[in-house]
Structure 1
Amino acid sequence: MKIGILTFNWAINYGAVLQMYAEYKYLSKDNEVYVINYVPDYFANMYNKRIFYTQIRFKTAIKKLMEKFIKFEQYKKFEKFINENMLLTEKAKNRNELSKIINKFDLVIVGSDQVWNYDITKEYIGDYLLYNINCNKISYAASLGKNEIKRELVDLFCESLEKFDFVSLREKTSIDYVNKICKGKKYNLCIDPVFLISSNEWKKISENSNYKIPRNGYVLVYMLEYNPNLLKTARYLSEKYNIPVLSIEIPFIRFFGKNFGIKKLHDVGPIDFVKLFLKAKYILTNSFHGTAFSLIFHKPFISFAHSKVNSRMENLLSLYQLENVQIKNTLNNFEIVEEILKKTQKAYSNLENKEISKVIENSKQYLVEALKKIELKLKREKHEK
């Protein structure tokens, strides 16, 4: 079957690219799979490497100039990883071009990632819902990114989801919410695609990285928003175990007070990202995918609450019976740090008895059954012609 994946292929973002890769790799075992290269100018400009593509203030231009030089290697590695590991369609910049590409596929899978988060997609939300686009369509672990949808978008969501052959979401809270506003359809809970391939497969991928790392271990920081508690904890662990702190930096330059002795890494590609998580002694993160890879590699780690999109991490942690281990408030003593590290390590025992194993298996089964039914539908349509 010829399948197109519609997700955020334009994002220079570790989670976005690695979840896309995992979904692509898993589906490619038995299908001809492409990533739909949908990049309207609005999205392209988020990571535009040009400095003066539009009129901007002098200070902004200086910042972009710094980003261009500092992040050049990082951008290059992302581009190389995508081009070498996935097949992309021709580029579509608008809805008409997207529809023409979609017509070439037997099935379109929307997701994973926050494809149904209006704060990201803005006026393109209808495209990611495939609104009024006639095709065989399912979603896989699509995320709303938050606990509810804007009131003015409810009708669009319900009308669009009704036309999907199968729908799965990434968070249980989203399923509970969508069940209330868009009744009459079954909504499935599916795990983020990074869990569809095994830790051994991720380890094998990391072997392609030649990124140099400290021999005697390190504390890894992956911070999507500034968090002083996270930085204090990094310094504490660094001093206690006499190991350095490495920080994987996001694609945008940010400045925050003291650097706490942290070495910022601006040249980390997707494969390097996997390697850094695999080899870390301790991990501190307020990222969903940072949490995911910590769990995949069975690392002692601490999850710090994110101010806007924390429900995703809470849902994921609960699958490992790690409820109430996040640091959410001011950190007053480091005894809490030690307790959480011990709890995360204990969570990896008897994983087959934990909810995570069931959800992974159910997610794979969801894809198997959905694809089978689409294949039968295609055969029936062909026969009727």
Structure 2
Amino acid sequence: MIEMTEDGSKTEKKVFGISWNVFVLGLVSFLNDMSSEMINPVIPKYLTDVLGTGELLSGTLMGAIESLSSLFKVAFGYFSDRFKKRKAFIFAGYALSTFAKGALAFTRHWWDFLSLRVLDRVGKGIRTAPRDALIAESSEKGKTGKSFGFHRMMDTLGAVAGPLVGIGLLHLMRGIEIGRAYRYLFLSAAVPGLLSLLIIVFLVKDRGREVKKKITGVSALKSRSLRLFLLVIAVGALGRYSYAFTLWKAGELGYSLKGEMAFYALFNLMYALAAYPIGVYSDRVGKKTLITAGFLISALASLAFAYARGLGTLILAFVLYGIYIAIEDTVPRAYMADLAKDFEKGTVIGAYHTVFGVFVFPASVIAGWLWQSYSLTYSFLYAAFMNLLAFVLMILIRDHR
């Protein structure tokens, strides 16, 4: 939404100090993540208890689901740069995901479940880089961390609300056979997704016409320092396990499905509380510093999960995990947006997501194999080692700023 200043120049309307587009996209992400997180906490048990998958297959499926979306992000980031139509890609991505979540109600086998989860991730792959590029284009210069922090905060507040709504719905359906209750929950999750689509259609504004179309200068992707940064991201991604492993850990310690969902809500609450201040702080102290700290926090979270035997250590593990994900989901996006030229923001941000996604898949396969062959403790110890390695490498690489 554009307003006119006294001198006749254009300025974008702000809400709580955030540009209109960033604010509205935050609402979209709130609703979409509420939709996703109504069902995500039950998916690990749905796989093992209803569809009957084993440890290795479950870990592989969760890794494939999280990885596949990233393979599409650089392509659709490039297309949104090329055509300067971020909104169309954002709408298509969210629409595809909304359909896929509701259709989970009709799955009967792991392969039809996987196909719909992949379709959901394809939707995420279509929308993420164009959406992040639009957030960057709608941000004040030097305030990308603040914008991405606000967006991730709103996204994760939805992720806090989602499990709580899911717990409430499961409580209302407590007399229904659990397999049927899961399916009703999947259908219910489509409702906030549909609301987010209406907001995109009527309130999100494209900024593509204001972005310089002529390619000038050298692409940031040709920078040696950026390539080294992406290499470290790949190492860190090899230590990034699916959230499902944290819930399987809670289940291993004897907590019920509702208990697991409560832990998941705690994780998302920490994420939501941390994301915005982390984004603002990264604009002040430098994004590389916080990205580096994130790997260390992830290693500590993994060690806490590995050795958790009681409630206190498990809570600490979920708190640290939430802070790490708040850093990892916020700061690298803003960092890449700062490095990219105007003509390539979608492409460069998409390149980060793609590198991360490619290496997340083998990470969950390895974690699943260690779980099946030894125990969950070894899965988390492996993750701790890879994050410590990324932490050391991040210290060694040259700062781009």
| TM > 0.5 | no
Q: Which band: TM-score by shorter chain?
A: under 0.3
Between Structure 1 and Structure 2, which shows a larger proportion of strand residues? 1
What TM-score do you get using the length of structure 1 for normalisation? 0.25
| Greater relative contact order (Cα < 8 A, sep 6+) | 2
What TM-score do you get using the length of structure 2 for normalisation? 0.24
Between Structure 1 and Structure 2, which shows a larger proportion of helix residues? 2
